[in-house]
Amino acid sequence: MIFRYLLYPTVLISLLLLSMTYSFADDAGNENKIPEHKWFLTIFGGPAVQPDLENTLIFNMRFEDDTYIGAAALAREFWRYENWISFEVEGQVGKYFGNEHQWQFNGLIIGRWHRFPWEKYLDTSFAVGDGLSYNTETSQIEYEDDEDAGKWLNYLMFELTLGLPEYPRWDFVYRVHHRSSIKETIGAGASNFAAFGIKYGF
């Protein structure tokens, strides 16, 4: 059982170490190409998934709630170290569909890793973001997780972007969209969504 929970961080750390090794060697003969755009508009959506964040991250999830979210996110990059890592601030507006119909508003800070060995052929980035989330109504999914569930929760997201180098402004996006209480530090209850979308840089 413990192997499942160690698999995701082990693969992630291995990919980062591999990308760092490749990039140090590649930088000797190539200059970094830093995108000029600093703003990003992302449109994404997807279904609620069960049972928890850990299983969602390793793709061991179930689709059983018939609840979906669609969202628009506007982000601004505010710090970057060459073409290695950057930080963004992002605001989101989301709408539930299916069994639930409330609105959701999120504000977060995002850290993004840019360097991967295959970037000449497929632009890739991996991001983690954390902030606050507000639902205009209590989510039924979160209420079923905890009867004390309310409108405010912590917001956490994991994002993978993939794009073609010849179209640097456009990316395909996969996001894990997560709300939780951080062990009842902020509110109660939790929910997860597996979302797909498109990102545009300008």
- What gap in Å lies between CA 95 and CA 183, rounded to an integer? 26
The structure tokens listed for 108 are 């977060």
- Which DSSP helix (H) or strand (E) runs through 26? helix 2-26
Which strand (E) or helix (H) includes residue 179? strand 170-180
**Angle at alpha carbon of residue 183, lines to 180 and 188, rounded to 5°:** 50
Instruction: Evaluate if residue 178 carries a pLDDT over 50.
Output: yes
pLDDT of residue 36: 84
Long-range contacts of 91-96 (CB under 8 A, 24+ apart): 94/69, 94/70, 95/69, 95/70, 95/71, 96/67, 96/68, 96/69, 96/139
**Measured distance between the N- and C-terminal CA atoms of the chain, rounded to whole angstroms:** 44
pLDDT above 60 (res 177): yes
Instruction: State how far the Cα of 168 lies from the Cα of 161, in Å rounded to an integer.
Output: 12
Task: Please tell me the distance from the alpha carbon of residue 122 to that of residue 35, in angstroms, as a whole number.
Answer: 15
The model's pLDDT over 16-59, given as tens digits with 9 standing for 90+, comes to 445 444 444 454 444 456 778 999 999 999 999 999 999 999 99
- Of 167, 169, 159, 164, the closest CA to residue 122 belongs to 164
Q: pTM here?
A: 0.84
| Domain 2-28+38-201, CATH | 2.40.160.20
Q: What mean pLDDT comes out for the span 115-137?
A: 97
Per-residue pLDDT, averaged over 168-195, amounts to 95
Q: Give the pLDDT confidence score for residue 32 in this predicted structure.
A: 53
For the chain, the domains span 2-28+38-201
- The CB density around residue 133, as the number of other CB atoms within 10 Å, is 25
Average of pLDDT values for 102-115? 98
Q: What is the share, in percent, of the chain residues with pLDDT greater than 90?
A: 80
